[in-house]
Structure 1
Amino acid sequence: MENLFRTYYASLCYHSYHVTGDKELSEDIVQEVFVRYWQYNENIQILHPKAWLYKAVYNASLNSVEKRNTYERAKVDMFIKLNAVALEKSHELILIESETARLLWGNVEKLPPQCREIIRMGFIEGLSNKKIAELMHLHISTVKTQKQRGLSLLRKLLFHVGIWLQLCQFIFF
């Protein structure tokens, strides 16, 4: 039997490699086939060992490729499903963000003019309180007070919406 292994091992690996395209996998397959051959040969006399080995290696190689392809298809299917879920979530997130922005800026428009302008300059343009005070010819403490007043009014205006937004975050995130 050892002679059989030495005689056919390399050519069987080559035979398997043509099916699998993977050297290490081919070597594993050939070794497994030899183990099966020795197990079968104890109980049943195999009349044409060379033919049996080549056929067994070929079939095992095909099975291995089929398993690998099934696994790869499953991975691709999972990737597609995860991307679809992520895309769906991103559409929901965009919808929530746009609705939140619409509600927020719709309520900013309800603020008194000076307060509204300070909120816009501070949060949209990202200007510091000092810069806003310079541009509007106001004292810095007036800017701070108006900003606090604006945020407080927005909290009151958006209180009923806050519960809805928290619920949306709980559901979608």
Structure 2
Amino acid sequence: MLKYYDELLYYAYKLVGDKERAKDIVQETYSRVLEIKDNRKIKNQRAYLYKVVKHIAVDESIEEQKLKSTIFQEDITLSIKTEQPEEIAIKQNQEEIFMQIVNELPQRTKEAFVLFTVDGYTRKEIAKMMDITSNAVEKLIKRATIKIEDELSKKGF
């Protein structure tokens, strides 16, 4: 029976497209056939080995598809989460508090912070727009960030 190993490996590889999986399938094939061989006589060993290889490959493919489907379904189930009314209210409250803190910043600090974080301008672009140095922009953004973090922590966020 071992004389068919290489051709069975090639056949399994053609079925699954992965050499390591093909080796596992052929090994499982020999294991199953040896168990059966003790109980009954196999007339055409080569044909029987091919049949078992195909059966194992199909079974593995079905199991793999089930697993992928299950994972996909779990992803869908976990990703579909609707916010509850109290979560929406809390989120709106947090946004209002955040905006209140930002609006209380000094004008130049607020302008640099908003241009950087909301509008996405670079420090260099902001420096040109505000007619200051990039270093000054960095300091304004840092001051704004520190002030916002301090105020949020005071309010329990």
TM-score by length of 2: 0.58
Q: Report the alpha carbon displacement of residue 20 of structure 1 after superposing the two structures with TM.
A: 1.7
Q: C-alpha separation between the residues in 1 aligned to 2:86 and 2:103?
A: 27
Give the Å deviation of 1:92: 6.6
- Mark the CA change 1:95 to 1:10 in structure 2 (over 3 Å): closer, same or farther: farther
Q: 1:91 to 1:59 in 2, by over 3 A?
A: farther
Structure 1 or 2, whichever has the larger Rg, is 1
**1:143-158 → structure 2 map (5 Å cutoff):** none
In the other structure, the counterpart of 2:83 is 89
SS at match of 1:46: coil
Shift in CA distance, 92/75, structure 1 to aligned 2, threshold 3 Å:
farther
Q: Contact 1:20–1:64 at 8 Å: present in 2 too?
A: no
Number of residue pairs aligned between Structure 1 and Structure 2? 106
Retained in 2: the 8 A contact 1:13–1:26?
yes
Structure 1, unmatched stretches of 5+, are: 106-119, 132-154, 156-173
Residue deviations 1:59-118, cap 9 Å, x none?
110000110111011011111111112xx13887445322x369x78xxxxxxxxxxxxx
Instruction: Name the structure with the higher helix share.
Output: 1
CA distance in 2, matches of 1:64, 1:92: 46
1:37 aligns with 2:33: yes
1:125 counterpart residue number: 103
**Structure 2 Cα separation of the partners of residues 68 and 91 of structure 1:** 40
Separation in 1 of the partners of 2:85 and 2:30?
56
The CA distance in 2 between the partners of 1:72 and 1:30, in whole Å, is: 24
Distance 1:53 1:127, change over 3 A: same
Structure 2 residue aligned with 1:25:
21
Q: Which runs of 4+ in 1 moved over 4 A?
A: none
CA distances 1:32-53 after superposition (whole Å, capped 9, x unpaired): 1111111111121100000000
Q: Using the alignment, how far apart are the partners of 2:8 and 2:39 within structure 1?
A: 23
Q: Which runs of 5+ in 2 are unaligned?
A: 110-154
Q: Distance in 2 between matches of 1:65 and 1:126?
A: 62
